[in-house]
Amino acid sequence: MTLRWATHYAGLVLVCAGSLITIANAQQSPGPTTVVQLTGLAGVKDNAKGTLSVENGNLHFAHGKTGSDVSTTSIEDVVTGGDSQETVGKTIGTLSMAAPYGSGRVLSLFRTKIDTLTIRYRDSEGGLHGAIFTMPVGKADVIKKELVANGAHSTAAEPSAASTSASPSSQEERKQ
Amino acid sequence: MKRILTSAIRMGMVALVFAACPLFARPGEPTKIRARAIQVEMIQSDEVSMPAEFQISLYENLIHQLEKQGFQHVYREGDRNAASSTDLVVLHSTVRRFKQGSERARQVTTVAGATSITVHCQFSSPDGATILERDVNGKVRFFGGNLKATYDFAKKAARVAHENISTPEHE
């Protein structure tokens, strides 16, 4: 009986340790992040899906075979935020509105949280640009830290541990 | 005698035509400001708290919509080329009111959760003299995310520019 409990306990510890290692690895090696570029990057269409990474002092957005680079030193401000989007796609969401007795609206209740990353940067002529990206939760802060480490500026103060734990829910409440 | 009478009638008709010309003019139509280029300054929201993505979205959408209005150049804030441009108008925008709604509430209830933005737009000459001032609002009531209100504002602001500024394309 004791052996059985010990086996169960060991298994549980192994599962917990495995998941912790996975989370730690994910935080250590950010790599390219799948994002949606809402607007702002020169030469990239609005709402373009692609990957975002910080490499060689540039914020690199890859979309299909094309790419767009913004020098991190030209970035004047980086701001992260939170938002939410429909769990089902836009097309299904719109089609579901036609369901009888408004039953399709139930789908609208299911939303997933997303992060937003907003940057302000200058082009070679000094013109001010802005770009907005959305990405899975937890990715925006990682990219922001990388950008700041590579010379980007940020006017927003780093949130403290207490405010970090409080902010996502408050932001979500604010933005839904 | 007949020739003199004919000439007098002709002269009278010509005089009548000239006299009637002012009647065809449209007195209600305002005089348009002439400009070849416009410089868009970053949207200011010092008085009203607004998320950064809304501020950037307002700015970028405004530039995109103004580019469709026939200006030879639409300069961004800080663009060095604007200094050498002739017939330049500078657009300063300040957020006066901002109410962030909820996309979920809009989709579920249809009547609640609207997002609305009111922006004070000031068109001025490069030396700072105000040419035109308007309050323009942007809203999203039914479909779309909250940022769609910024697109609505940009379209309306570009329409104000189109109605009041004469660009080379429209001359």
Question: What string of pLDDT tens digits covers the 171 residues of chain B?
Answer: 667 777 777 877 766 656 555 555 555 556 788 899 999 999 999 889 999 999 999 999 999 999 998 888 999 999 999 999 888 999 999 999 999 988 888 877 878 888 999 999 999 999 999 999 999 999 998 878 889 999 999 999 999 999 999 877 665
pLDDT of res. B111? 81
Distance, in Å, from the CA atom of B105 to the CA atom of B45, rounded to the nearest integer, reads 26
- State the pLDDT confidence band at A111, using cuts at 50, 70 and 90: confident
A113 touches chain B (CB under 8 A): no
Closest CA of chain A from B77, distance in Å = 5
Fold of A31-175: PH-domain like (2.30.29)
Give all domains of chain B, ordered by start, each with its CATH number. Answer: 33-170 (3.30.160.150)
CB contact under 8 A, B104 and A109: yes
Q: What local confidence, expressed as pLDDT, does residue A98 receive?
A: 73
User: Residues of chain A with pLDDT > 70: what percent?
Assistant: 62
Q: Enumerate residues 6+ apart whose C-beta is below 8 A from B68.
A: B158
A126 CB near a chain B CB, below 8 Å?
A: yes
Distance CA B77, CA A125 (A): 10
The model's pTM is 0.75
The answer to whether the Cβ–Cβ distance between B76 and A132 falls below 8 Å is: no
Query: Are the beta carbons of B53 and A81 separated by less than 8 Å?
Result: yes
> What does the block give as tokens for A8?
């169960």
What ipTM describes this predicted complex?
A: 0.79
Task: Note whether A118 and A82 are within 8 A (CB).
Answer: no
A130 touches chain B (CB under 8 A): yes
Structure tokens at B150: 């910024």
How many contiguous H segments (helices) and E segments (strands) does chain A have? Answer: 4, 7
- Give yes or no for A62 touching B (CB within 8 A): no
Chain A residues in contact with B108 (beta carbon < 8 A): 105, 108-109
Determine the Cα–Cα distance for residues B171 and B164; give it in Å rounded to an integer: 13
Alpha carbons B90 and B82: distance in angstroms, whole number: 10
Q: Mean pLDDT across the stretch A60-83? A: 91
Tell if the CB–CB gap between A127 and B79 is shorter than 8 Å: yes
| Mean pLDDT to the nearest integer, A71-80 | 95
Domain boundaries, given as residue ranges, for chain A: 1-30, 31-175
Q: String of b and e for B129-151 (b: at least 16 CB within 10 Å)?
A: eeebeeebebbbbeebbbbbbbb
